[in-house]
Amino acid sequence: MTRSLILAAALLLGSSAGSRAVAAPTVSVAAAANLVYALDALNTAFRGAAPDITVTSTTSASGTLFAQLKNGAPFDVFLSADTAYPAQVVRAGLGDAATLRTFATGRLVFWTMRPDLDGTDIAGVVRDARVRKLAIAQPRTAPYGRAAQAALEKLDAWPAAQPKLVIGESISQTAQFVQTGNADAGFVAMSIVLAPKLASQGHWWEVPPARYASVPLDHAVVLTTRGAANPAARRYWEFLASEPAKKILRTYGYNVP
């Protein structure tokens, strides 16, 4: 090999090694759908604190994200609307038990675009003949859906609700049903109705937590085994416990530890 070819090869290898060395660290976050608006604010604040890290996000029902993790989805951080799914991640050998903790508690609300419906009497509204479609998230995969079902059962309104149910795949789709009028009313997350995009739309009433005490909406975070080996993911996990993150979560109606 000539001297010039050797020099060119060395420069090429050096350039490739340098490119690998300066590649930006990334973190992949899988978050429950109720966090969709708060997550934008959280990620913006995190990028301000860690501008060298690129954040990618996926939102869906907690159970759907858990299923994706089991099927090999490359998530680093899992934010669930309950504590059960993250615990299952750990039991399945897919997460770091030392990183499992509650970071917020969600709140369930009853929401409608119709000014003629009074949500102070949820059971009465559910039984009202004018209400033909009632939206809830899928109870099998969405903790907010389970909480809605528990509240309706506590109010003795579940039998009246069942024929009217419109089931959303996630709480964000459930909110779309209400917002667009495809459902007369529905149960959604307070974080959704407080989002700037939706805060002036319709009327909502908080469902007393005692009505769904059997399905607490404690939101837990866990690092996956992939994330536990990713310093950028650990920085994101630490950020969630910071005061700036807690302030954002409170703004969206969450209670924080």
Q: Give the model's pLDDT for residue 23.
A: 72
Share of the chain above pLDDT 90, in %: 91
The dihedral of CA 253, 196, 34, 170: what is its sign? Answer: positive
Share of the chain above pLDDT 70, in %: 91
Domain ranges of the chain: 25-105+217-251, 108-212
Please say if the pLDDT value at position 184 is more than 60.
yes
Task: Count other C-beta atoms under 10 Å from residue 163's C-beta.
Answer: 8
Please say if the pLDDT value at position 186 is more than 70.
yes
Please say if the pLDDT value at position 21 is more than 70.
no
Please say if the pLDDT value at position 104 is more than 80.
yes
Q: Would you give the DSSP letter of residue 78?
A: E
40 φ, ψ to 5°? -60, -45
Nearest to 246, CA basis, from 230, 235, 237, 257 = 257
**CA 62/CA 170 separation, integer angstroms:** 8
pLDDT band for 3, please (50, 70, 90 cuts): very low
pTM: 0.88
Q: How far apart are the first and last CA of the chain?
A: 66
Q: Which CATH number fits domain 25-105+217-251: 2.60.120.200, 3.40.190.10, 3.30.70.20, 3.50.50.60?
A: 3.40.190.10
**Average pLDDT of the chain?**
93
Please say if the pLDDT value at position 7 is more than 60.
no
Q: Which residues pair with 203 in a beta bridge?
A: 112
The class that CATH gives domain 108-212 is alpha beta
**CA 15/CA 235 separation, integer angstroms:** 29
Mean pLDDT of 101-125: 97
Do the domains spanning 25-105+217-251 and 108-212 agree at the CATH topology level?
Answer: yes
